[in-house]
Amino acid sequence: MSEEKSCGNCRYGSVLCGCTNTSYIYVYCSGWQPIEYSIEESSDTQEKIEQVCKSLGNFLKEKNKRYGDSALDPKNIFSKLKSDEQIKVRLDDKLSRINNSGELRKNDLVDITGYLVLLMISKDWTEFEELID
Q: Over the stretch 42-96, which tens digit does the pLDDT of each residue have?
A: 578 989 999 999 999 999 999 999 998 888 988 889 999 999 999 999 999 999 9
Cβ contacts of residue 77 below 8 Å, gap of 6+? none
**pTM of the entire structure?**
0.65
The C-alpha atoms of residue 6 and residue 10 are separated, in whole angstroms, by 8
Q: Nearest-5° angle of CA 59, CA 60, CA 61?
A: 95
Q: What is the largest CA-CA distance in the chain?
A: 63
For the ranges 10-14, 84-88, 106-110, the lowest mean pLDDT is seen at: 10-14
The whole-number average pLDDT for the span 21-40 is: 47
- Answer yes or no: are the C-beta atoms of 110 and 56 closer than 8 Å: yes
The domain limits of the chain are 68-131
- Answer yes or no: are the C-beta atoms of 86 and 39 closer than 8 Å: no
H or E element in which residue 27 lies? strand 24-28
Distances (CA, A) of 39 to 18, 29, 42: 8, 17, 6
Residues 85-109 as b/e (b if ≥16 CB within 10 A, e otherwise) read ebbeebbeebeeeeeeeeeeeeeee
